[in-house]
Amino acid sequence: MKSPIIAIDARLTSTQNTGDTSYWRGLIWGLSKINPLPNITLFSDQPQQVDSPFPYVQITAPHSRIWSYFTFPRAAKKMNANVIHTQYNVSPLSGNAAITTIHDVSFFINPEWYEPKDRLLLTKLIPRSVNHACRVLTVSETSKQEIEHYIPASKSKITVTPNALSPTFIPADKAKAKTSLANKHDIEKPFIFAITSRWARKNTQLAAQAFQQSQLSETHKLITCGPGEPLIANSIHLGYVDDETIRDLYAAADCYILPSLHEGFGIPILEAFASQTPVICGTGGAIPEVAGDAAIICPDYNPETWANALNHLFDDSGKLEAMIKRGQRRIQDFSWIKTAELTMQAYEEVANA
Protein backbone atom coordinates (compact mmCIF):
# COMPACT_ATOMS: atom_id res chain seq x y z
CA MET A 1 0.00 0.00 0.00
CA LYS A 2 1.43 3.36 -1.07
CA SER A 3 1.85 6.17 1.44
CA PRO A 4 0.28 9.42 0.24
CA ILE A 5 2.74 12.08 -0.93
CA ILE A 6 0.50 15.11 -0.87
CA ALA A 7 0.77 18.48 -2.61
CA ILE A 8 -1.78 21.09 -1.51
CA ASP A 9 -2.66 24.30 -3.33
CA ALA A 10 -2.43 26.57 -0.26
CA ARG A 11 -2.96 29.94 -1.94
CA LEU A 12 -6.27 30.57 -0.18
CA THR A 13 -4.61 30.45 3.24
CA SER A 14 -3.20 33.89 2.40
CA THR A 15 -6.43 35.62 1.34
CA GLN A 16 -8.89 37.84 3.22
CA ASN A 17 -10.91 35.95 5.84
CA THR A 18 -13.57 34.09 3.84
CA GLY A 19 -15.15 30.66 4.08
CA ASP A 20 -12.53 29.35 1.65
CA THR A 21 -9.70 30.72 3.79
CA SER A 22 -11.25 29.23 6.93
CA TYR A 23 -11.56 25.85 5.24
CA TRP A 24 -7.93 25.61 4.16
CA ARG A 25 -6.51 26.97 7.39
CA GLY A 26 -8.70 24.67 9.44
CA LEU A 27 -7.91 21.62 7.31
CA ILE A 28 -4.16 22.23 7.43
CA TRP A 29 -4.34 22.69 11.20
CA GLY A 30 -6.27 19.42 11.52
CA LEU A 31 -3.82 17.56 9.28
CA SER A 32 -0.98 18.82 11.49
CA LYS A 33 -2.55 16.97 14.44
CA ILE A 34 -2.47 13.57 12.74
CA ASN A 35 0.13 11.12 14.05
CA PRO A 36 2.35 10.23 12.31
CA LEU A 37 2.56 13.56 10.51
CA PRO A 38 1.43 13.18 6.87
CA ASN A 39 3.86 13.78 4.02
CA ILE A 40 2.40 17.10 2.89
CA THR A 41 3.92 20.04 1.03
CA LEU A 42 2.06 23.33 0.75
CA PHE A 43 2.40 25.31 -2.48
CA SER A 44 1.47 28.94 -3.11
CA ASP A 45 2.37 31.96 -5.18
CA GLN A 46 2.27 34.10 -2.01
CA PRO A 47 4.53 34.28 1.07
CA GLN A 48 3.54 31.95 3.90
CA GLN A 49 0.91 33.35 6.27
CA VAL A 50 -0.19 30.24 8.13
CA ASP A 51 1.81 28.40 10.78
CA SER A 52 2.17 24.69 10.13
CA PRO A 53 4.80 21.95 10.39
CA PHE A 54 4.56 21.24 6.66
CA PRO A 55 7.12 22.43 4.08
CA TYR A 56 5.97 25.53 2.22
CA VAL A 57 7.04 26.19 -1.36
CA GLN A 58 6.45 29.56 -3.01
CA ILE A 59 6.43 29.44 -6.80
CA THR A 60 5.20 32.12 -9.17
CA ALA A 61 3.58 32.25 -12.60
CA PRO A 62 2.53 35.07 -14.97
CA HIS A 63 -1.18 34.42 -14.25
CA SER A 64 -3.19 32.54 -11.63
CA ARG A 65 -4.74 30.26 -14.26
CA ILE A 66 -1.28 29.36 -15.57
CA TRP A 67 -0.25 28.64 -11.98
CA SER A 68 -3.26 26.35 -11.46
CA TYR A 69 -3.07 24.44 -14.71
CA PHE A 70 0.68 24.20 -15.32
CA THR A 71 3.04 25.58 -12.66
CA PHE A 72 1.58 23.88 -9.59
CA PRO A 73 0.86 20.39 -11.00
CA ARG A 74 4.31 20.26 -12.61
CA ALA A 75 5.97 21.20 -9.32
CA ALA A 76 3.85 18.61 -7.50
CA LYS A 77 4.77 15.88 -9.96
CA LYS A 78 8.45 16.84 -9.66
CA MET A 79 8.28 15.97 -5.94
CA ASN A 80 6.58 12.65 -6.88
CA ALA A 81 3.24 13.64 -5.36
CA ASN A 82 0.58 10.96 -5.75
CA VAL A 83 -2.12 13.25 -4.32
CA ILE A 84 -2.68 16.80 -5.63
CA HIS A 85 -5.37 18.67 -3.69
CA THR A 86 -6.94 21.80 -5.17
CA GLN A 87 -10.17 23.77 -4.89
CA TYR A 88 -12.66 23.71 -7.78
CA ASN A 89 -10.13 23.73 -10.65
CA VAL A 90 -8.29 20.54 -11.58
CA SER A 91 -5.53 20.49 -14.16
CA PRO A 92 -5.40 17.56 -16.60
CA LEU A 93 -1.67 17.47 -15.76
CA SER A 94 -2.59 16.15 -12.32
CA GLY A 95 -3.40 12.80 -13.87
CA ASN A 96 -4.77 10.22 -11.45
CA ALA A 97 -3.50 12.18 -8.42
CA ALA A 98 -6.22 14.84 -8.45
CA ILE A 99 -8.57 15.54 -5.56
CA THR A 100 -10.68 18.70 -5.42
CA THR A 101 -12.83 20.48 -2.86
CA ILE A 102 -16.11 21.96 -4.11
CA HIS A 103 -17.86 24.00 -1.42
CA ASP A 104 -21.13 24.48 -3.27
CA VAL A 105 -22.69 24.76 -6.72
CA SER A 106 -24.74 27.89 -6.16
CA PHE A 107 -23.76 28.97 -9.69
CA PHE A 108 -26.02 26.18 -10.95
CA ILE A 109 -28.76 26.71 -8.37
CA ASN A 110 -29.24 30.36 -9.32
CA PRO A 111 -26.98 31.62 -12.12
CA GLU A 112 -28.33 35.16 -11.64
CA TRP A 113 -26.25 35.46 -8.47
CA TYR A 114 -23.12 35.59 -10.66
CA GLU A 115 -21.72 37.89 -13.30
CA PRO A 116 -22.04 36.38 -16.82
CA LYS A 117 -18.29 35.76 -17.19
CA ASP A 118 -17.98 34.04 -13.79
CA ARG A 119 -21.16 32.06 -14.42
CA LEU A 120 -19.86 30.77 -17.74
CA LEU A 121 -16.48 29.79 -16.34
CA LEU A 122 -17.92 28.02 -13.30
CA THR A 123 -20.64 26.09 -15.12
CA LYS A 124 -18.20 24.92 -17.80
CA LEU A 125 -15.00 24.35 -15.84
CA ILE A 126 -16.25 22.77 -12.60
CA PRO A 127 -17.89 19.75 -14.30
CA ARG A 128 -14.62 19.26 -16.23
CA SER A 129 -12.71 19.35 -12.96
CA VAL A 130 -15.01 16.70 -11.51
CA ASN A 131 -14.35 14.53 -14.55
CA HIS A 132 -10.56 14.87 -14.08
CA ALA A 133 -10.63 14.37 -10.28
CA CYS A 134 -10.29 10.98 -8.63
CA ARG A 135 -12.10 12.23 -5.52
CA VAL A 136 -14.32 15.21 -4.72
CA LEU A 137 -14.65 16.64 -1.22
CA THR A 138 -17.44 18.92 -0.05
CA VAL A 139 -18.40 20.52 3.23
CA SER A 140 -21.99 19.41 3.92
CA GLU A 141 -24.52 16.73 3.09
CA THR A 142 -26.61 19.42 1.40
CA SER A 143 -23.74 20.38 -0.90
CA LYS A 144 -23.10 16.70 -1.66
CA GLN A 145 -26.70 16.23 -2.81
CA GLU A 146 -26.63 19.42 -4.86
CA ILE A 147 -23.31 18.56 -6.53
CA GLU A 148 -24.55 15.07 -7.39
CA HIS A 149 -27.73 16.57 -8.85
CA TYR A 150 -26.01 19.11 -11.09
CA ILE A 151 -22.83 17.12 -11.84
CA PRO A 152 -23.83 13.42 -12.00
CA ALA A 153 -20.22 12.36 -12.66
CA SER A 154 -19.46 13.15 -9.01
CA LYS A 155 -21.72 10.44 -7.58
CA SER A 156 -19.08 7.75 -7.18
CA LYS A 157 -16.36 10.18 -6.10
CA ILE A 158 -17.76 12.50 -3.45
CA THR A 159 -17.10 12.57 0.31
CA VAL A 160 -18.40 14.99 2.94
CA THR A 161 -15.65 16.59 5.04
CA PRO A 162 -17.42 19.30 7.06
CA ASN A 163 -16.15 22.69 8.09
CA ALA A 164 -15.74 23.51 11.78
CA LEU A 165 -15.06 26.39 14.10
CA SER A 166 -11.58 27.79 13.57
CA PRO A 167 -9.10 26.54 16.19
CA THR A 168 -7.98 30.17 16.58
CA PHE A 169 -11.51 31.46 17.25
CA ILE A 170 -11.58 32.17 20.98
CA PRO A 171 -14.93 33.73 21.94
CA ALA A 172 -14.70 37.11 23.65
CA ASP A 173 -16.09 37.74 27.13
CA LYS A 174 -19.35 39.62 26.59
CA ALA A 175 -18.73 42.38 29.12
CA LYS A 176 -15.16 42.95 27.93
CA ALA A 177 -16.32 42.93 24.29
CA LYS A 178 -18.86 45.67 24.97
CA THR A 179 -16.22 47.77 26.74
CA SER A 180 -13.75 47.26 23.90
CA LEU A 181 -16.28 48.28 21.22
CA ALA A 182 -17.29 51.34 23.23
CA ASN A 183 -13.66 52.43 23.57
CA LYS A 184 -12.54 51.67 20.02
CA HIS A 185 -15.65 52.41 17.95
CA ASP A 186 -17.94 54.43 20.25
CA ILE A 187 -20.52 51.62 20.16
CA GLU A 188 -22.51 51.82 23.37
CA LYS A 189 -26.10 51.19 22.32
CA PRO A 190 -27.36 47.55 22.10
CA PHE A 191 -27.02 46.26 18.55
CA ILE A 192 -27.88 43.65 15.96
CA PHE A 193 -24.90 42.34 13.97
CA ALA A 194 -24.58 41.31 10.31
CA ILE A 195 -21.66 40.78 7.93
CA THR A 196 -21.88 42.45 4.53
CA SER A 197 -20.85 41.03 1.18
CA ARG A 198 -20.83 42.13 -2.45
CA TRP A 199 -22.10 38.71 -3.52
CA ALA A 200 -25.77 38.78 -4.48
CA ARG A 201 -26.50 35.43 -2.85
CA LYS A 202 -25.38 36.78 0.54
CA ASN A 203 -28.51 38.98 0.42
CA THR A 204 -27.19 41.39 3.06
CA GLN A 205 -29.75 44.09 2.32
CA LEU A 206 -32.38 41.86 3.93
CA ALA A 207 -30.70 42.38 7.30
CA ALA A 208 -31.21 46.13 6.94
CA GLN A 209 -34.80 45.78 5.72
CA ALA A 210 -35.74 43.45 8.59
CA PHE A 211 -34.06 45.67 11.17
CA GLN A 212 -35.77 48.83 9.89
CA GLN A 213 -39.19 47.14 10.04
CA SER A 214 -38.62 45.70 13.51
CA GLN A 215 -39.35 47.20 16.89
CA LEU A 216 -35.68 46.81 17.78
CA SER A 217 -34.85 49.71 15.45
CA GLU A 218 -36.14 51.95 18.27
CA THR A 219 -33.82 50.50 20.92
CA HIS A 220 -30.84 49.09 18.99
CA LYS A 221 -28.31 49.94 16.30
CA LEU A 222 -27.50 47.84 13.25
CA ILE A 223 -23.74 47.19 13.19
CA THR A 224 -22.10 45.66 10.11
CA CYS A 225 -18.61 44.79 8.96
CA GLY A 226 -17.23 43.65 5.62
CA PRO A 227 -17.04 45.30 2.19
CA GLY A 228 -19.16 48.17 1.00
CA GLU A 229 -20.96 51.02 2.72
CA PRO A 230 -23.51 51.26 5.56
CA LEU A 231 -26.70 49.40 4.65
CA ILE A 232 -28.97 52.10 6.06
CA ALA A 233 -28.66 55.58 7.48
CA ASN A 234 -27.86 55.79 11.19
CA SER A 235 -26.25 52.35 11.18
CA ILE A 236 -22.55 51.76 11.81
CA HIS A 237 -20.41 50.02 9.21
CA LEU A 238 -16.87 49.14 10.27
CA GLY A 239 -15.58 47.81 6.94
CA TYR A 240 -13.00 45.06 7.18
CA VAL A 241 -12.05 44.37 10.78
CA ASP A 242 -9.38 42.33 12.56
CA ASP A 243 -10.04 39.02 14.31
CA GLU A 244 -10.29 40.61 17.75
CA THR A 245 -12.94 43.10 16.63
CA ILE A 246 -15.10 40.50 14.91
CA ARG A 247 -14.99 38.32 18.03
CA ASP A 248 -16.09 41.35 20.05
CA LEU A 249 -18.94 42.02 17.60
CA TYR A 250 -20.23 38.46 17.83
CA ALA A 251 -20.03 38.46 21.63
CA ALA A 252 -21.52 41.91 22.26
CA ALA A 253 -24.40 41.63 19.77
CA ASP A 254 -27.92 40.85 20.94
CA CYS A 255 -28.41 38.85 17.73
CA TYR A 256 -26.48 37.80 14.65
CA ILE A 257 -28.42 37.82 11.36
CA LEU A 258 -27.38 35.59 8.44
CA PRO A 259 -29.68 36.48 5.49
CA SER A 260 -27.78 34.47 2.86
CA LEU A 261 -29.90 32.85 0.15
CA HIS A 262 -27.51 29.90 -0.11
CA GLU A 263 -24.50 28.53 1.78
CA GLY A 264 -22.47 25.38 1.30
CA PHE A 265 -21.89 25.42 5.06
CA GLY A 266 -21.96 28.69 7.06
CA ILE A 267 -19.05 29.01 9.52
CA PRO A 268 -20.37 32.34 10.94
CA ILE A 269 -23.24 30.37 12.47
CA LEU A 270 -20.75 28.41 14.56
CA GLU A 271 -18.87 31.59 15.46
CA ALA A 272 -22.09 33.14 16.79
CA PHE A 273 -22.96 29.94 18.65
CA ALA A 274 -19.52 29.92 20.27
CA SER A 275 -20.08 33.55 21.31
CA GLN A 276 -23.40 32.63 22.98
CA THR A 277 -25.27 34.97 20.65
CA PRO A 278 -28.71 34.15 19.18
CA VAL A 279 -28.81 33.52 15.44
CA ILE A 280 -31.56 34.33 12.96
CA CYS A 281 -31.01 32.69 9.56
CA GLY A 282 -32.84 31.33 6.54
CA THR A 283 -33.28 28.05 4.70
CA GLY A 284 -30.74 28.50 1.91
CA GLY A 285 -28.51 25.55 1.12
CA ALA A 286 -26.82 23.95 4.13
CA ILE A 287 -27.79 26.65 6.64
CA PRO A 288 -30.49 24.55 8.39
CA GLU A 289 -28.15 21.53 8.38
CA VAL A 290 -25.48 23.49 10.24
CA ALA A 291 -27.80 25.45 12.53
CA GLY A 292 -29.82 22.44 13.63
CA ASP A 293 -32.24 23.37 16.40
CA ALA A 294 -29.97 26.07 17.83
CA ALA A 295 -31.11 29.04 15.69
CA ILE A 296 -34.28 30.81 14.62
CA ILE A 297 -34.72 29.68 11.01
CA CYS A 298 -37.05 31.92 9.00
CA PRO A 299 -39.15 29.94 6.50
CA ASP A 300 -38.90 32.59 3.76
CA TYR A 301 -36.92 35.69 2.79
CA ASN A 302 -39.70 38.22 3.30
CA PRO A 303 -38.36 41.16 5.41
CA GLU A 304 -41.57 41.10 7.47
CA THR A 305 -40.87 37.52 8.51
CA TRP A 306 -37.37 38.44 9.68
CA ALA A 307 -38.59 41.61 11.40
CA ASN A 308 -41.16 39.51 13.26
CA ALA A 309 -38.38 37.16 14.41
CA LEU A 310 -36.49 40.16 15.78
CA ASN A 311 -39.63 41.48 17.46
CA HIS A 312 -40.13 38.24 19.39
CA LEU A 313 -36.46 37.52 20.08
CA PHE A 314 -36.68 38.41 23.77
CA ASP A 315 -40.25 37.25 24.48
CA ASP A 316 -39.21 34.15 26.42
CA SER A 317 -35.84 34.37 28.17
CA GLY A 318 -35.96 30.67 29.09
CA LYS A 319 -36.38 29.57 25.48
CA LEU A 320 -33.70 32.00 24.35
CA GLU A 321 -31.23 30.69 26.93
CA ALA A 322 -32.03 27.08 25.92
CA MET A 323 -31.38 27.94 22.26
CA ILE A 324 -28.03 29.50 23.17
CA LYS A 325 -27.07 26.35 25.10
CA ARG A 326 -28.03 24.20 22.11
CA GLY A 327 -25.71 26.36 20.02
CA GLN A 328 -22.86 25.67 22.45
CA ARG A 329 -23.47 21.94 22.06
CA ARG A 330 -23.87 22.21 18.28
CA ILE A 331 -20.32 23.46 17.70
CA GLN A 332 -19.05 20.23 19.26
CA ASP A 333 -20.53 18.29 16.33
CA PHE A 334 -17.89 19.71 13.98
CA SER A 335 -14.15 19.12 14.31
CA TRP A 336 -11.21 19.98 12.05
CA ILE A 337 -9.37 16.93 13.37
CA LYS A 338 -12.23 14.65 12.31
CA THR A 339 -12.40 16.43 8.95
CA ALA A 340 -8.64 15.98 8.53
CA GLU A 341 -9.00 12.25 9.26
CA LEU A 342 -11.73 11.92 6.62
CA THR A 343 -9.57 13.90 4.20
CA MET A 344 -6.60 11.60 4.86
CA GLN A 345 -8.80 8.62 4.02
CA ALA A 346 -9.54 10.26 0.67
CA TYR A 347 -5.82 10.94 0.15
CA GLU A 348 -5.01 7.28 0.80
CA GLU A 349 -7.70 6.15 -1.64
CA VAL A 350 -6.30 8.42 -4.37
CA ALA A 351 -2.71 7.39 -3.68
CA ASN A 352 -3.65 3.73 -4.04
CA ALA A 353 -6.19 3.98 -6.87
Kindly state whether residue 279 falls inside one of the protein's structural domains: yes
Q: Residue 244 to residues 146, 180, 186: CA-CA distances in angstroms? A: 35, 10, 16
Share of the chain above pLDDT 70, in %: 100
In this structure, the answer to whether residues 186 and 44 fall within a common structural domain is: no
In this structure, the answer to whether residues 233 and 347 fall within a common structural domain is: no
How many distinct structural domains can be found in the chain?
Answer: 2
Kindly state whether residue 229 falls inside one of the protein's structural domains: yes
In this structure, the answer to whether residues 27 and 151 fall within a common structural domain is: yes
Q: How confident is the prediction for the chain on average, in pLDDT? A: 96
In this structure, the answer to whether residues 182 and 121 fall within a common structural domain is: no
Kindly state whether residue 185 falls inside one of the protein's structural domains: yes
Instruction: Provide the residue range defining the domain that includes 311.
Output: 174-333
Residue 16 above 80 pLDDT? no
Q: What pLDDT is recorded for position 1?
A: 81
In this structure, the answer to whether residues 105 and 53 fall within a common structural domain is: yes
Is residue 108 within 8 Å of 324, Cβ to Cβ? no
Is residue 215 within 8 Å of 308, Cβ to Cβ? no
Bridge partners, residue 224, by sequence: 194, 237
pTM over 0.85: yes
Secondary element (H or E) of residue 307: helix 303-311
111 phi and psi, to 5 degrees? -60, -25
In this structure, the answer to whether residues 60 and 147 fall within a common structural domain is: yes
In this structure, the answer to whether residues 280 and 340 fall within a common structural domain is: no
Kindly state whether residue 208 falls inside one of the protein's structural domains: yes
In this structure, the answer to whether residues 55 and 99 fall within a common structural domain is: yes
In this structure, the answer to whether residues 326 and 341 fall within a common structural domain is: no
Q: What pLDDT is recorded for position 234?
A: 85
Share of the chain above pLDDT 90, in %: 95
Q: How far apart are CA 17 and CA 58, in angstroms?
A: 21
CATH of the domain at 246: 3.40.50.2000
Q: How confident is the model at residue 237 (pLDDT cuts 50, 70, 90)?
A: very high
Residue 322 CB neighbours (<10 A): 13
Secondary element (H or E) of residue 30: helix 19-32
Q: What pLDDT is recorded for position 17?
A: 63
Is residue 268 within 8 Å of 295, Cβ to Cβ? no
Residue 328 above 80 pLDDT? yes
Residue 260 above 90 pLDDT? yes
In this structure, the answer to whether residues 200 and 152 fall within a common structural domain is: no
Kindly state whether residue 169 falls inside one of the protein's structural domains: no
In this structure, the answer to whether residues 328 and 237 fall within a common structural domain is: yes
In this structure, the answer to whether residues 263 and 308 fall within a common structural domain is: yes
Residue 318 above 70 pLDDT? yes
Residue 326 above 90 pLDDT? yes
